[in-house]
């Protein structure tokens, strides 16, 4: 292994305090975690240390981790996280990150309740169930299917996925997913009832060929949104802890230049203070773009991190030698407590400089 690459890895991963993260995990999770794989560093830190992710459902997390561990202990030879399963994990994970930011920004935003329901509550609840939980349930169902030799790939709707995981012992997840509520929202069957004591939401749906209505106050619906997100956090944390312990189950060929491979490298290059959003090919096999979010806005520091990351990416994809490696750093700066200013800085690392360092 090239000693320059080893130095760059050591320098890059020294940018945060691993012992502090392990201490946080030890305080909040009833498991003995002594190592964190590079792929799971950013994700574990995100769930354990930041709001609203840190309010995960502990019962859900514990059950997911325990049942997956039981599955591994009994069927380890049959288990693998192939590209299909990994893509579903990525879809749920990326949606989760977006939704967590939406909840953080809008949950306590003070606007007219009816407007907030239409713009925040309804789409957020649907997104949690369809974009996060449905994809996480696919990961669990497909892993279970591999182990017990059952084909669950046709169970592709939320209601069917809930039935599958419930049948395989994941009752804590199933009881926190209200498919009827999701159906009412998706089918446009939600009405706002204005009363003197406040607005109430009426969700109309069909169950067993019978029309029904679930009526909730705004605060009750807010609780259901929080509960659904905490369930998603619990499922994701359980999956993450399991994958972290059995990282060898990831069967992704990082030599390929496709979405799963690029995403796995991006996860490896994400740490609590530096988030690699994506790695993408511009289409001519000459240039890779690496988009990162970085907390430290010092330009010299950004240049240093860009160089380290360029070398680490180049180590995987040496065929990109005819052009440049571009990194765009999105800088988030707090402006006196009044908001976030987003700046974008494009740094191009010429291939000659990479080769000279490499």
Q: Per the domain annotation, does 28 fall within a domain?
A: no
Q: What is the pLDDT of residue 68?
A: 97
Say if pTM beats, i.e. exceeds, 0.75: yes
Assess whether 303 and 228 both reside in one domain.
no
Domain count, the chain: 2
Same domain, 245 and 280: no
Task: Specify if 263 maps to a domain.
Answer: no
Tell me, what's the pLDDT at 129? 97
Task: Tell whether 139 and 285 lie within a shared domain.
Answer: no
User: Please, what is the angle between helix 83-106 and helix 259-268, to 10°?
Assistant: 60
pLDDT greater than 80 at residue 183:
yes
237: in domain = yes
pLDDT more than 70, % of the chain: 88
Asked whether residue 6 is domain-assigned, the answer is no
- From 249, 282, 313, the end of a domain falls on 249
Q: List the strands of the sheet with 210-217, edge to edge.
A: 190-195, 198-207, 210-217
Q: Looking at per-residue confidence, does 85 or 277 come out higher?
A: 85
Whether the predicted pLDDT of 89 surpasses 60: yes
**Domain contains 20:** no
- For residues 212 and 71, membership in a common domain is answered with yes
The whole-number average pLDDT for the span 154-168 is 92
Same domain, 219 and 320: no
Q: Over 90: is that where the pLDDT of 80 sits?
A: yes
Angle (deg, nearest 10), helices 83-106 and 41-49: 30
87 shares its domain with 173: yes
- Residue 66, in any domain of the structure: yes
Predicted confidence (pLDDT) per residue in 258-278, tens digit: 899 999 999 999 999 899 988
Per-residue pLDDT of 194-222, as tens digits, reads: 887 778 999 999 998 899 999 999 999 99
CA 193 – CA 201 distance, rounded (Å): 6
Read off the pLDDT of residues 94-113 as tens digits, 9 standing for 90 and up.
999 999 999 999 988 889 88
Is the pLDDT at 350 greater than 70, yes or no? no
Q: What is the per-residue pLDDT across 296-337, written as a single tens digit (0 to 9) for each?
A: 878 788 888 888 888 888 888 877 653 344 444 444 444 334
47/175 same-domain check: yes
Tokens of 2: 């090239």
Mean pLDDT to the nearest integer, 121-148: 96
Residue at a domain's end among 185, 215, 249:
249
The residue range of the domain holding 348 is 273-357
Average pLDDT, the chain: 86
- Does 182 lie in the same domain as 74? yes
Cα–Cα nearest to 321, from 278, 346, 358, 287? 287
Q: Is 116 in the same domain as 216?
A: yes
pLDDT confidence band for 294 (50 / 70 / 90) = confident
Same domain, 163 and 305: no
Instruction: Please indicate, yes or no, whether residues 93 and 167 belong to a single structural domain of this protein.
Output: yes
Residue 293 token pair: 């979010």
Residue 163 CB coordination number (10 Å) = 15
Asked if residue 348 belongs to a domain, the reply is yes
pLDDT digits (tens, 9 = 90+) for 6-60: 998 999 999 999 999 999 999 999 888 889 999 999 999 999 999 999 999 999 9
Share of the chain above pLDDT 90, in %: 61
Q: What is the mean pLDDT of residues 220-227?
A: 96
In this structure, is residue 256 part of a structural domain?
no
Q: What pLDDT does 311 receive?
A: 83
pLDDT value at residue 333: 42
CATH of the domain at 338: 3.30.70
Q: Are residues 46 and 155 in the same domain?
A: yes
Q: What is the pLDDT of residue 343?
A: 47
Last residue of a domain, one of 249, 282, 302: 249
Angle at 16 between CA 15 and CA 17, to 5 degrees: 140
């Amino acid at each position: 292994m090239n000693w320059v690459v080893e130095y760059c890895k050591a320098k890059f991963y020294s940018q945060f305090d691993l012992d502090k993260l392990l201490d946080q995990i030890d305080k909040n999770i009833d498991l003995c975690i002594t190592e964190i794989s590079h792929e799971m560093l950013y994700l574990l830190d995100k769930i354990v240390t930041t709001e609203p992710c840190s309010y995960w459902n502990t019962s859900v997390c514990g059950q997911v981790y325990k049942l997956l561990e039981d599955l591994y202990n009994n069927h380890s030879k049959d288990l693998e996280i192939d590209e299909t399963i990994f893509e579903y994990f990525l879809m749920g994970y990326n949606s989760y990150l977006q939704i967590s930011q939406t909840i953080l920004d809008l949950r306590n935003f003070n606007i007219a309740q009816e407007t907030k329901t239409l713009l925040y509550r309804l789409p957020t609840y649907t997104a949690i169930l369809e974009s996060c939980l449905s994809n996480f349930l696919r990961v669990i169902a497909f892993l279970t299917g591999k182990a017990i030799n059952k084909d669950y790939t046709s169970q592709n709707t939320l209601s069917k996925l809930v039935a599958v995981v419930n049948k395989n012992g994941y009752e804590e997840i199933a009881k926190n997913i209200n498919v009827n509520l999701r159906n009412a929202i998706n089918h446009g069957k939600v009405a706002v009832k204005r009363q003197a004591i406040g607005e109430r939401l009426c969700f109309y749906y069909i169950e067993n060929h019978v029309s029904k209505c679930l009526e909730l106050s705004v605060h009750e619906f807010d609780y259901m949104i929080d509960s659904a997100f905490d369930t998603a956090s619990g499922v994701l944390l359980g999956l993450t802890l399991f994958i972290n312990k059995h990282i060898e189950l990831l069967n992704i060929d990082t030599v390929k230049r496709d979405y799963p491979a690029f995403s796995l490298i991006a996860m490896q290059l994400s740490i609590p203070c530096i988030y690699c959003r994506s790695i993408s090919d511009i289409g001519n096999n000459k240039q890779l773009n690496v988009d990162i979010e970085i907390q430290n806005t010092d330009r010299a520091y950004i240049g240093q991190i860009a160089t380290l990351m360029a070398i680490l990416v180049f180590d995987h994809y040496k065929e990109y030698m005819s052009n440049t490696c571009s990194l765009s750093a999105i800088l988030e700066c707090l402006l006196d407590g009044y908001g976030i200013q987003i700046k974008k800085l494009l740094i191009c690392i010429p291939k000659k400089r990479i080769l000279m360092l490499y």
